[in-house]
Amino acid sequence: MYGSSRHFAEQYRKTGVSAKVNEADPHRLISLLFEGAGQRIRRAQACLAQGDPAHKGKAIGEACAIIGHLNGSLDHEAGGEVASNLSALYDYIVRRLIEANLHNDRAALSESLDLLGEIESAWNAIPEAQRAMAVES
């Protein structure tokens, strides 16, 4: 009649994510992208450990897409050298993720997650008063 509990859990998850996105300011939206990319990389690590190459590849592809969105959202004119350096770092992370996918490289997954985590930490450390400027840059 109602379907499986898994179906309800999936619907709840989607609704929860939608609510987070709808209520988020621009700074928080970027934070959600970092969270999502990190979750996908951790999922890829788990799939690699479990010998599930299909789901590993899917998770890595999703992480690459999210990082591509982060890279594409950089304002190189306003952000100058910082935006340029971040773009190069995002490109490097994507290359490492592709290598991880092709060669089942656990170290490349860990490195990618660590680098992304450092960027995320720096982003989240931006004081509230400066966040509007950071998003516009």
Confidence label for 135 from pLDDT (cuts 50, 70 and 90): low
Any domain includes 3? no
Any domain includes 77? yes
Residue 5 clears pLDDT 50, i.e. is over it: no
Any domain includes 7? no
Q: Tell me, what CATH number does 84's domain have?
A: 1.20.120.340
pTM, entire model:
0.82
**How many domains does the structure of the chain reveal?**
1
Q: What is the pLDDT of residues 20-29, one digit of tens each?
A: 656 668 888 8
Any domain includes 51? yes
Instruction: Quote the pLDDT of residue 12.
Output: 44
Any domain includes 107? yes
For 58, the domain range is 35-136
Cα dihedral across residues 38, 40, 43, 49: positive or negative: negative
Any domain includes 30? no
CA–CA separation, 117 vs 31, rounded Å?
11
pLDDT mean over 39-51: 98
Any domain includes 10? no
